[in-house]
């Protein structure tokens, strides 16, 4: 039996595939390569022994998904395939709703049709919006969506809750905080197209000489050094969280039995300011990374980090790697791949 990983050629997906292999699971990848290069697959194969079937296809294409279930013995799905740029979602909201919602409906429908009941979903801390208090727990009220991307994640969660309530589907909603870092081998990592929107890949591209400086959006927040605080989680820890969620779904006991759908925060459980991230990255690369303050961005909360006690208690998962490890591993990948996978 195998786990189908949609979006398995992406940044988080590649690490999830490796973590599932390490946990002894067979994996089938489906990816439409809209935001990944086929070279990623060679790199993932370099880290996984045995066969790794890869299907090029759209997770929102019902017939294509049915063919995958016909050809492979799938017993669980990790659904990561989604468009994820906040800025692009504001420019092309309907494309985001179509892609992110249709693929979620389609994957759930095919699973229910085939009697496959274990579903792990890539959600995001974005569903909390701008929370009044931090750290956020899974009981924290979901905020009004900040953008169509965030709305598509909150709507996907609702779709899956409704699907689980009316079928035997059991769903782990994994709310990621800020994934950073790379596999310690330096073989797979984050390869954003265009100028990266997230802080860590931006910092690393400045270190690599691809960008001039890091813009620090807002230095007058009510935080220790005035810059915004976020919860950064090593992508390898995050990936291992998916293996832990699949194990819990397989055991089927506790909250999955009672509720069908359960949300888990996957973060480090602590926050770092933007300046702390830049300092840790500077230490990892061995020189000071240039940065400059600019105006706050609208919709950016001052501080948000995760309370991860539920994942610890019910999945037996905690993030083990600290910010220094994230920066060293991210830099190791960036240094070996100055132009991303195109450097291979």
Ligand X SMILES: NC(=O)c1ccc[n+]([C@@H]2O[C@H](COP(=O)([O-])OP(=O)(O)OC[C@H]3O[C@@H](n4cnc5c(N)ncnc54)[C@H](O)[C@@H]3O)[C@@H](O)[C@H]2O)c1
Shortest spacing between CB 328 and ligand X, in angstroms: 19
Tell me the C-alpha distance between 204 and 193, whole Å.
14
In the bound complex, which residue of the shown chain has the CB atom lying closest to ligand X?
A: 10
Nearer to ligand X, 62 or 226 (CB): 62
Residues 56 to 75: which contact ligand X by CB under 6 A?
Answer: 58-60
Span near ligand X by CB under 6 A; candidates 26-34, 132-140, 244-252, 319-327: 26-34
Residues 134 to 173: which contact ligand X by CB under 6 A?
Answer: none
Binding mask 178-207 toward ligand X (x if CB under 6 A, else -) reads xx------------------x---------
Per CB under 6 A, the list member of 12, 68, 249, 315 interacting with ligand X is 12
- The token duo for 293 is 């303050």
Options 149, 221, 232, 264, the catalytic residue: 149
- The token duo for 275 is 């300046």
Contact 183, 47 (CB under 8 A): yes
For residues 29, 32, 36, 37, the Cα torsion angle rounded to the nearest 10 degrees is 90
DSSP string, 34-99: SSS-THHHHHHHHHS-S---EEE--TT-HHHHHHHHHHS-EEEEEE------HHHHHH-HHHHHHH
Exposure class string for 85-117: b at 16+ Cβ within 10 A, else e = bbebbeeeeeebbebbbebbebbbebbbeeebb
Shortest spacing between CB 80 and ligand X, in angstroms: 4
Is 81 a binding residue for ligand X by CB under 6 A? The answer is yes
Contact 195, 211 (CB under 8 A): yes
188 CB-contact burial (10 Å; exposed 0-12 / middle 13-18 / buried 19+)? buried
Is 341 an annotated catalytic residue? no
Residues 31 to 50: which contact ligand X by CB under 6 A?
Answer: 31-36
Residues 110 to 139: which contact ligand X by CB under 6 A?
Answer: 122, 124
Residues 198 to 257: which contact ligand X by CB under 6 A?
Answer: 198
Nearer to ligand X, 80 or 268 (CB): 80
Nearer to ligand X, 102 or 112 (CB): 102
Shortest spacing between CB 220 and ligand X, in angstroms: 25
Q: What is the CA 269 to chain-centroid distance, rounded?
A: 16
Closest CA relative to residue 342, chosen from 178, 234, 224, 210? 210
Active site residues: 149
Residues lying near ligand X in the complex (CB under 6 A): 6-7, 9-13, 30-36, 58-60, 80-84, 99, 103, 122, 124, 176, 178-179, 198
């Amino acid at each position: 039996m195998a786990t189908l990983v949609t979006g398995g050629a992406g940044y988080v997906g590649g690490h999830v595939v490796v973590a599932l292999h390490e946990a002894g699971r067979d994996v089938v990848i489906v990816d439409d390569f809209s935001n990944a290069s086929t070279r990623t697959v060679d790199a993932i194969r370099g880290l996984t022994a045995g066969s790794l079937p890869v299907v090029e296809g759209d997770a929102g294409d019902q017939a294509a998904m049915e063919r995958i279930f016909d050809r492979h013995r799938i017993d669980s799905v990790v659904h990561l395939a989604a468009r994820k740029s906040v800025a692009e979602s504001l420019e092309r909201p309907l494309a985001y709703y179509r892609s992110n919602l249709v693929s979620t409906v389609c994957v759930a429908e095919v699973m229910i049709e085939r009697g496959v009941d274990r579903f792990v979903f890539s959600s995001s801390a974005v569903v909390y919006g701008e929370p009044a208090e931090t750290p956020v727990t899974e009981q924290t009220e979901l905020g009004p969506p900040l953008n169509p991307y965030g709305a598509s994640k909150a709507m996907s969660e609702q779709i899956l809750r409704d699907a689980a309530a009316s079928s035997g589907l059991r769903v782990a909603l994994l709310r990621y905080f800020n994934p950073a870092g790379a596999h310690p081998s330096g073989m797979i990592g984050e390869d954003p197209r265009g100028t990266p929107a997230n802080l860590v890949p931006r910092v690393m591209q400045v270190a690599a000489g691809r960008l001039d400086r890091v813009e620090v959006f807002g230095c007058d927040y009510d935080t220790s050094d005035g810059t915004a605080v976020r919860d950064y989680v090593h992508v390898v820890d995050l990936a291992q969280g998916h293996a832990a969620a699949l194990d819990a779904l397989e055991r089927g006991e506790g909250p999955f039995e009672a509720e069908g759908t359960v949300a888990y925060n996957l973060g480090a459980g602590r926050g770092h300011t933007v300046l702390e991230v830049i300092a840790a990255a500077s230490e990892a690369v061995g020189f000071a990374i240039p940065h400059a303050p600019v105006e706050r961005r609208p919709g950016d909360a001052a501080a948000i980090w995760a309370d991860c006690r539920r994942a610890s208690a019910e999945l037996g998962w905690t993030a083990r790697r600290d910010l220094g490890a994230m920066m060293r591993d991210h830099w190791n990948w960036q240094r070996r791949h100055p132009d991303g996978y195109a450097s291979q």
